[in-house]
């Protein structure tokens, strides 16, 4: 049945559109945009007071599928995505087994066919993420991978990184880089600074990320290849990326909502839900990230959604790094950037830009495009209750926080997959 969204504020950065109007969806596609469209036989959705935008594109998600599905799986992850307005996502390859074989890639994409969002996957740059032997990139592309990453860790051998950067463009693959000097980061549990010293906890210096970012940029620049920098958290990395762009390096970059809203002071509680990698940094880093979003240094906002069980997160010092984020991403970003970026600018960073970087059919409400739409109330406030979230894991760094902006309805390929009206 066709669906008619009436009287919504339609924002589509891909078309420069920001206007109260109607949106007709039919046969899983955007059929028509306009004023006072006839309802005819359509299911009518009242969009009064809501923003209708392209479904969000989260280009950094750990679905934990296969092998770690006690934390999350493709179906629970996509339920969480739908509740956050995310209709397309890029799954990271640090699964068990890792996404280094065509069989593993095909199996995930096959399982995802019946999920509540479009699942794309990054494949490994190196076999079993060990950083030494290059995976068969052409075979992984043939199996359906759209990106390459050893995320969770950097590509340790820079020669292998260069080889991947050389091959990726002709294969139509995006290289997304986890930037970290493992020697500098070794043993660290949180950002190295005043708070870590006060707690007596080993720290990860900002230089660990900055050294990695500099290496990745230098490698890409040396051969004129594009590269995407994941989860930027430091003022130093923002400066390095800004400089690289000014020099014409083909670099894009993302940051995450938790780096925009929180700092390492959250770890004074010694609650492992605030531990992730890269770690929460200092206030000057947070402000530099916001400035980077404002001036275009940082192209995208992604979540680095990284589920872990309550048992795994129980011990502050022994817990694995990572926090969940898809269900809270829009609200956390709207809260952090209110009065700093406009709604169209925020939606560009969360939908249109990541779709463009990945080269996927998403991030637009153009007629003929997939009917992937999020309707949300940018003014509605809500308190994050981990027990009410839709994924398997509850390790949100926003628990108990009041956020502004709530998803009301998520539509994937013309079908309602989340309804909180």
Return residue ranges of the chain for CATH 3.20.20.140: 55-358
pLDDT for 349 equals 98
Whether omega before 40 lies within 30 degrees of 0, making that bond cis, reads: no
Distance of CA 197 to the CA centre of its chain: 31
Q: What does pLDDT average to in each consecutive run of 10 residues of the chain (421 residues)?
A: 97 98 98 95 97 99 98 98 98 98 98 98 98 97 98 96 98 98 98 98 98 98 98 99 98 99 98 98 98 98 98 98 98 98 98 98 98 98 98 98 98 98 93
pLDDT for 160 equals 98
**pTM higher than 0.95, yes or no?**
yes
Identify the CATH number of the domain defined by range 55-358: 3.20.20.140
Which one is catalytic: 116, 299, 304, 372? Answer: 304
pLDDT for 121 equals 98
Judge whether 134 and 155 are in contact, CB under 8 Å. Answer: no
Q: Residue 126 carries which DSSP code?
A: B
User: Which token pair is 355?
Assistant: 């779709």
Class of domain 3-51+371-419: mainly beta
pLDDT for 270 equals 98
Return residue ranges of the chain for CATH 2.30.40.10: 3-51+371-419
Known active-site residue 304? yes
Residue 50, CA distances (Å) to 4, 367, 415 in order = 14, 20, 18
pLDDT for 180 equals 98
pLDDT for 321 equals 98
């Amino acid at each position: 049945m066709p669906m008619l969204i009436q009287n919504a504020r339609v924002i589509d950065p891909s078309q420069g559109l920001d206007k109260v109007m109607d949106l007709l969806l039919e046969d899983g596609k955007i059929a028509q945009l306009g004023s006072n469209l006839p309802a005819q036989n359509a299911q009518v959705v009242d969009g009064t007071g809501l923003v209708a935008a392209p479904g969000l594109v989260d280009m950094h998600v750990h679905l934990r599928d296969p092998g770690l599905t006690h934390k999350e799986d493709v179906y629970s992850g996509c339920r969480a995505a739908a509740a956050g307005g995310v209709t397309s996502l890029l799954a990271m390859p640090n699964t068990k087994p890792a996404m280094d074989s065509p069989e593993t890639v095909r199996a995930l994409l096959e399982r995802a066919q019946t999920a509540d969002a479009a699942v794309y996957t990054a494949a490994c740059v190196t076999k079993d993420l060990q950083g030494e032997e290059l995976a068969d990139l052409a075979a992984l592309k043939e199996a359906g991978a759209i990106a390459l990453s050893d995320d969770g860790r950097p590509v340790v051998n820079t020669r292998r990184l260069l080889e991947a950067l050389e091959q990726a463009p002709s294969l139509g693959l995006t290289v997304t880089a986890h930037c970290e000097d493992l020697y500098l980061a070794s043993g660290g549990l949180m950002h190295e600074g005043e708070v870590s010293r006060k707690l007596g906890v080993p720290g990860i210096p900002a230089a660990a990320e900055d050294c990695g970012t500099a290496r990745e940029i230098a490698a890409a620049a040396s051969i004129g290849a594009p590269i995407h920098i994941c989860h930027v958290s430091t003022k130093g990395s923002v400066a390095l990326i800004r400089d690289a762009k000014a020099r014409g390096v083909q670099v894009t970059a993302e940051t995450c909502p938790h780096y925009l809203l929180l700092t390492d002071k959250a770890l004074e509680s010694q609650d492992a839900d605030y531990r992730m990698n890269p770690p929460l940094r200092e206030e000057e880093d947070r402000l530099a990230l916001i400035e980077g979003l404002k001036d275009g240094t940082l192209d995208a906002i992604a979540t680095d959604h990284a589920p872990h069980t309550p048992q795994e997160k129980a011990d502050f010092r022994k817990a694995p790094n990572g926090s969940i984020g898809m269900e809270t991403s829009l609200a956390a970003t709207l809260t952090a950037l209110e009065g700093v970026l406009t709604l169209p600018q925020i939606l560009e960073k969360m939908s249109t830009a990541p779709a463009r970087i990945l080269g996927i059919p998403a991030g637009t409400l153009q007629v003929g495009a997939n009917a992937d739409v999020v309707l949300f109330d940018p003014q509605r406030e809500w308190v994050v209750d981990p027990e009410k979230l839709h994924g398997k894991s509850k390790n949100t760094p926003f628990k108990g926080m009041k956020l502004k902006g709530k998803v009301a309805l998520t539509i994937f390929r013309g079908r309602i997959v989340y309804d909180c009206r």
